[in-house]
Amino acid sequence: ALEVVGNASGVRSIKMSRPSSGVTNSFGLTTDGFIFHNETLGSRIAALLGSAVYGELSFSRAGSDHNGRQSVIRGGAAVGTDKDGASFDIIGSAGTGGATGGGAINFKTPNAGASGTTTQTETTKLSVQRQGNLILTELSSAPTLNAPNGSIFYGVIGGVTNFWFYRTNGWVGLP
């Protein structure tokens, strides 16, 4: 077994380079998990963190003063002629026995804040409850940023709270 011992949290314990491409990646330990870095770009590739109360897998934190990068979680693709793809499951946390709480899957997006360098706070916009019902966060006004045809939201337009559907001529209340 390979044993690598570091003396400080955040130290990159293992570095791997490919001289032909000039790329160096590394793997390090923190007090609560593992971090993978692209040393060449000076950025985090991914982090796997956890404690007794949470687990986190995060991707693609940029180095200093950069926009965030797209992150993708992709299921395994089939190989060969006319092979079916598999399902990709996202599973909420299961309780035990007759417990009925928890288990929701929450989708969070960031909220714009004041101009500056502070990271935006994320809030739940859609929740899939353990019983299968969906909860959309109520918006106090119609979304104004890039609402393409087919967009749906739950909220208020002109004092009316409803589900709203966007078509080329604007938001239309659903019956």
Amino acid type, 143: P
- Comparing 146 with 63, which gets the higher pLDDT? 146
pLDDT of residue 62: 57
pLDDT tens digits, one per residue of 3-30: 766 666 667 788 899 889 899 999 888 8
pLDDT of residue 162: 95
Tokens of 75: 């299921």
Tokens of 122: 């994320």
Q: Nearest-CA neighbor of 129 among 100, 159, 161?
A: 100
Q: Nearest-CA neighbor of 26 among 46, 49, 9?
A: 46
Query: Does the structure show a pLDDT above 70 at 1?
Result: no
Cα distance between residue 47 and residue 33, in whole Å: 7
Q: Mean pLDDT, the chain, as a whole number?
A: 87
CB atoms within 10 A of CB 153: 21
Q: Is 65 left (phi over 0), alpha (psi -120 to 50) or beta?
A: left
Percent of the chain with pLDDT over 90: 42
- Helix, strand, coil in percent for the chain, rounding step 5: 0, 40, 60
pLDDT band for position 133 (cuts 50, 70, 90): very high
The alpha carbon of residue 105 and the mean position of all alpha carbons in its chain are separated, in whole angstroms, by 12
Query: Does the structure show a pLDDT above 90 at 169?
Result: no
pLDDT of residue 9: 60
Distances (CA, A) of 139 to 13, 45, 148, 161, 162: 46, 34, 17, 9, 10
pLDDT band for position 75 (cuts 50, 70, 90): confident
Strand 105-110 with 55-59, pairing: unpaired
pLDDT of residue 2: 65
pLDDT of residue 80: 95
Cα distance between residue 89 and residue 56, in whole Å: 17
Query: Does the structure show a pLDDT above 70 at 125?
Result: yes
Query: Does the structure show a pLDDT above 60 at 32?
Result: yes
Cα distance between residue 123 and residue 113, in whole Å: 13
- Comparing 59 with 26, which gets the higher pLDDT? 26
